Amino acid sequence: AAGVIQSPRHLIKEKRETATLKCYPIPRHDTVYWYQQGPGQDPQFLISFYEKMQSDKGSIPDRFSAQQFSDYHSELNMSSLELGDSALYFCASSHRDRVMNTEAFFGQGTRLTVV
């Protein structure tokens, strides 16, 4: 079965550079979530989209932006990178047919290292 695809899997950037992370949700899923997970921490919610519109916003820095495109894939753009941005970035998708039955599926993540 198709899963959530994230690219790239690994990314190394220098401070103050820009990075773009991509997420391809499971086909027919209409909701995408982005999470940041630092070492030894639980995933922290950044932002989510439903039907290509931003639906919820968490602890996403102003230096970051994201969008969901017409084909439902999403991109997380990160500018002026800082050392503290080094983390695993996860994308998840779900289908909100019946919200109580909404099950989120996660991608394998992008490991971003800022040097």
Nearest to 21 by CA among 5, 2, 42: 5
Q: Which of 76, 92, 112, 114 binds other proteins (CB under 8 A)?
A: 92
Write the CA distances from 56 to 3, 12, 77, 112, integer angstroms.
23, 28, 17, 23
Shortest distance (Å) from residue 16 CB to other proteins: 26
Among 43, 64, 66, 87, binds other proteins (CB under 8 A): 43
Binding to other proteins, residues 3-42 (CB under 8 A): 31, 33, 35, 42
Taking the C-alpha atoms of residue 1 and residue 29, their distance in angstroms, rounded to an integer, is 13
Site membership for other proteins, residue 59 (CB under 8 A):
no
Interface ranges with other proteins (CB under 8 A): 31, 33, 35, 42-45, 48-50, 55-56, 58, 88, 90, 92, 99-109, 111
